[in-house]
Every structure is written in structure tokens, then in C-alpha cells.
Chain A
């Protein structure tokens, strides 16, 4: 494969990682809640999307929207009823709670749907190849890159140019100060938790082609989601974007050259990077 194809393939994978992880970064930055079950919400969304398409005959995009809404509602519900009890709890309790939640989600999906890998039926116009002039490449990967870039732009506008975005940024930087200025951080958190989980659901649906979709999804990619978030810097959307792209490309290259154990280098690089810059790419020094 030539350089351009490798780059495009890696970027497409990175965009999927970005869409799935971005919500995790914001919620962790906002509340410092160690939510290991984020990938679980993504998986549930992916299943909602696949099942809606298979059983109700929903087209791809309405199914994505449905997955987003369903998971956002579920996340808001769980956040209000369960997560909220553990905000002041120790990191260990949060880790246990969310690992438990992952197991419940995995078992629930295995019982309800079964352990096999699910596939997403893409609309006809997204299948096949597109001629870019210099090279032909898979249309779907190009569409993913376009979607990820648009999402990044939309999130950037949302964070930099809206009132809610300013409140979130303020609360990530200094929660107590934001609260004393009258920002309702609890409500803000419910909102971002729901939206972030919904985005993860969309990411799982979009990325089923690349990351696959089966009940083990939340555990298999746990390390990747956490790496993207930590390398990007907690609560830094642009950081997550570049971290996800870098890791997507790196992973793609390594899987070609070292099909066995190549991801070792990603872990090694992550450790080295975080030791040099514990606050991540764009995070501020604590």
C-alpha cells in the first residue's frame, strides 16, 4: 500500500476513535469521574443501530439518530440515578462501579442478542470506491473522515461560541469558581454525559465496519479510549481529535507491518508521552 492509502485508512480509524472518545474526555474533565463504562454505552448504541436496521428496516442514518437518542436518554437516566451517588466517592469505587456496569452490559447484550459479531449494512452510495484523481479509495472511509472533521468543527463552535460551551470550559478549568458564578455544574454534567454517550453510540455504529461490534467491545477498546482521552488532555476536544487521529494512523500502520503484537509500540509511546507531558497534548498543567 502506498503512503496516501495508509494515511487515509488510518485517518478513518482515527475519526471513529474520536467520535467514540470525545464524550469521555469532556465528562472526565468536568467531573473527574473515572467512567470505564463509556465503551459500554458505545456498544449498546451500536447494537441499537444494527437491530433497528435489521428488524425495523430503518435506513442507516435514521438508525444512527435513533441510536444517539436512545443511548443519550439511557445515559442521562443512569447518570441521575447511579453515577450521581459516586461523584464524591473514591476513584476505586468509581472504577469498580463502572467495571461492574461493563459486565452487566456485556452479559445483557450476550443474553439478548448473542455473542456473535454484528455487521452494519451500509447504504449503496457509501459502498465501493471513489476516484480522488490521484488514487481511488473506499468511499466509506472518506465519508468517515469528512464526518469526523465536520463533527470536530461543530464541537469547536459549540465549545468556543456558545454559552453552554463557555460554561463547560469554565467548569473543566475550575469547577468551584464556575459554581460560585452560578453555573449549575450538575446539570451541565448530565447534559454532557448524555450527549457524549450518544456520540459514542454513533461512533460505534459508524465504526462497526472498522472496529467491529460484538459484546466484548467495551473491554477490548477500553485501553484505546483511555489512551486517546489521556493523551489528548482531559476535557480538551481538540486534543482528543489529534490524539485519536495519531493513534488511528499509528495503529493502522503497525497492524500492517507487525500484525502480531504491533500495538505494543502504541502502549510504549503512550507511557513515554504521558511521563513527559502528564497533562496531555493541550491540557493545562495542574
Chain B
């Protein structure tokens, strides 16, 4: 009876399941249970959003990129520069501006870069990010450069809730709300016919060409949408911390988000949640006391994941669950 059940799975996989409420309940619970860790929690939420944006291009469209921090940084610098130089510090319109700028950057670079593939594409995404990083470095009198721009102030959210640099209460809920909305949009998107055609392109490029799907247009659109989401993540990051420097554009951040997504499991949306929480919890507890051991551990984990656990934590959990329920 494997065929009907597989068909049933395909036909119903867009439906909401009960456990899908779990992350949101947990996130709200954490707000009340751990009031002293809300700054950390905000960081986790931002990284989940960033990893989700990567999941759209990497997990669904199958585009391997090393330079996704370019768009996180584009969004971060958009709200940062608007607040510092133009006095535009209203947060929600700031998010829209960040999404617009990052999405435009994604659309332009995607339109140009997605002609290539393989190593060349990998390298060009890396180059684009390095290009933006160096540009921000070159105009450091404007952008703050390596030293950054401390003390960026933003207006209260909706004119009601102040960003509090010490307690992060409003930042946490703000990041959670943005993440929730973005997640809903993304979930609808990947289960739409557009999302299905992205999966088709990932699985069999030739066949998608053969059935007449506009492959490159789909890829560019996905890339631009993903860039816009990454830009929103970067913008929330800057608004929440009030701080901005070149690290938002760096290879470390791009590699970090890739590791988070792979660790959690890509192409399944919830991998971003599991990966970000696991990675940042470990980083938070280990990296201050033993920074080198942390790096060694992450390196070994990556090697092992690449060799043995290609679907990450959720993939492992799923395999265990299958084995357990088959008994």
C-alpha cells in the first residue's frame, strides 16, 4: 500500500498539522519563562528568519550560495543608513525599505549570476558578498566600516512599544511577529505551484526545461524573494541591537547561516528553527569559554553531517521516527 499513502502524503502535505503550533508556543513560553535571555532569544529568532530565507533558495530551488549574508547586510545597512543619515527611524517602514533594497539586490544579482552554475556560481555569490563588504569598507566615513555604528536609535514600534536596549522585551516580540508573518508567507509560497516548480527545478532541471517551465525566471524570482527575506532579517537585527558593523556582510555570517540550515535540515522549513536554536545555544554556552573548541566541534560536526547525516537533525529524527513506528 505504499503508492496510495505516498500520494496521500503529497496531496496533504500543505495542510497544517498540530505539532506545527509547537515552535510558536515554545517561543511565547520562552518570553515568560526566560525574561533574562530575551536578547539571546531575539538573536535566535533573527537567525531563524535568515536561515528560512536561505532555505527557499538552497532547500527548495537548489541554488548553492556562499554569499547569502550579502542580502542580510543589504537590509541591515538600509535601515542603519536611513536611521543614521536620513533620520528615517520608523521600524516597520524601515523593514519595507530593507526588503525592497535587498530584494532588488537579489533580483539584479540573481538575474546576472544565475546564468552560471556549479563552481562559478558558488564563487560569484562569494564575490558579490565580498564586493558589498569592501564597498561598505571603502565608504567607512558613511557606513562606519569595521568599527561600526553604535547607538542607532529607532522609533517605537507602531508608535507604542519602545525598543529597550537593556531588556529586549519589545525586540523579542517584534522579531517573533516578523518571523511569524514571514513564515506564513513562505509556507504558502513553497506549497504553491510556484514552490512546486522550484522543487522540480532542483530535482530535474532538464525535465523542467522540457515541460516548458520558465526555469531561469523562477530561479531569479525565488532568489529575489529570498534576498528580500534575508534583508528583513538583517533589518530586524540592526533595529533590535541598535548596532551595525561590517560583520553583517562577512563570510563568517554566510557560513554560519549555511551551517544552521544544514544542521537543522534543509528543504523542510522547520530545519531553520531546530538548526538556529541548536547552533546558537551551543555557541552561546561554549564559544565564550572555549572558542577554539567550539570551532573544532562545529568543523567536526560539519564533516560528519556531510558524510553521514545529509538531512540534518530533523532528517535524523525522521529516520528514527520511521524506524520506531515501523516496528
Contacts and interface: CB of A to CB of B under 8 A. Distances in A.
Contacts of B66: 95
B299 interface: yes
A137 B238 CA distance: 48
Contacts of B305: 96, 100
Interface of B: 58, 64, 66, 112-113, 115-116, 118-120, 122-124, 126-128, 130-131, 134-140, 145, 251-252, 255, 258-259, 262, 292-293, 295-296, 298-307, 310
The 8 tightest CB contacts between A and B, nearest first, are: A100-B302, A261-B138, A103-B299, A107-B296, A264-B134, A104-B299, A97-B306, A261-B137
A104 B136 CA distance: 30
Interface centre among A97, A102, A258, A271 (most CB of B within 10 A): A271
28 contacts: A32-B118, A34-B119, A91-B119, A92-B58, A92-B262, A94-B306, A96-B259, A99-B299, A100-B302, A100-B303, A100-B306, A104-B299, A104-B300, A106-B295, A106-B299, A107-B293, A222-B126, A222-B251, A223-B123, A223-B251, A260-B138, A260-B145, A261-B136, A262-B138, A263-B134, A264-B134, A271-B128, A275-B112
B267 to A, nearest CB: 11
Contacts of A274: 116, 120, 123-124
B292 A100 contact: no
A49 interface: no
Interface of A: 28, 32, 34, 82, 85-86, 89, 91-97, 99-108, 110-111, 219, 222-223, 226-227, 230, 234, 258, 260-264, 267-268, 270-271, 274-275, 278
Contacts of A222: 126, 251
A107 B291 CA distance: 9
Nearest to A267: B131
Contact of A86 (B116, B259, B307): B307
Given A103-B295, A222-B251, A260-B140, A271 B124 contact: yes
A234 B119 contact: yes
B58 to A, nearest CB: 7
Contact of A101 (B128, B140, B292, B299): B299
A96 B262 contact: yes
Contacts of A103: 295-296, 298-299, 302
B263 to A, nearest CB: 10
A89 B306 CA distance: 9
B126 A226 contact: yes
B74 to A, nearest CB: 15
B292 A99 contact: no
Nearest to A93: B306
Nearest to B119: A34
**Of listed A91, A100, A102, A278, residue having the most chain B CB within 10 A:** A100
Contact of A261 (B58, B126, B134, B251): B134
Contacts of B135: 261, 264
Contacts of A227: 123, 127
A133 to B, nearest CB: 38
B132 to A, nearest CB: 9
A104 B303 contact: yes
A100 B255 contact: no
Contacts of B131: 264, 267-268, 271
Contacts of A93: 306, 310
A153 B139 CA distance: 42
Contacts of A223: 123, 126-127, 130, 251
A28 B252 CA distance: 24
Nearest to B136: A261
Nearest to B293: A107
B112 A96 contact: no
Q: Which of A102, A107, A270, A278 is packed against the most chain B CB atoms within 10 Å?
A: A107
A97 B307 CA distance: 7
Given A96-B305, A261-B135, A34 B300 contact: no
Given A95-B122, A271-B127, 18 more contacts: A82-B303, A91-B119, A95-B66, A99-B299, A99-B302, A104-B303, A106-B299, A108-B296, A110-B295, A111-B292, A227-B123, A260-B138, A263-B134, A264-B131, A267-B127, A271-B124, A271-B128, A278-B115
B92 to A, nearest CB: 32
B64 A95 contact: yes
A230 B119 contact: yes
Contact of A264 (B126, B138, B251): B138
Interface hub of A96, A262, A263, A278 (most chain B Cβ within 10 A) = A96
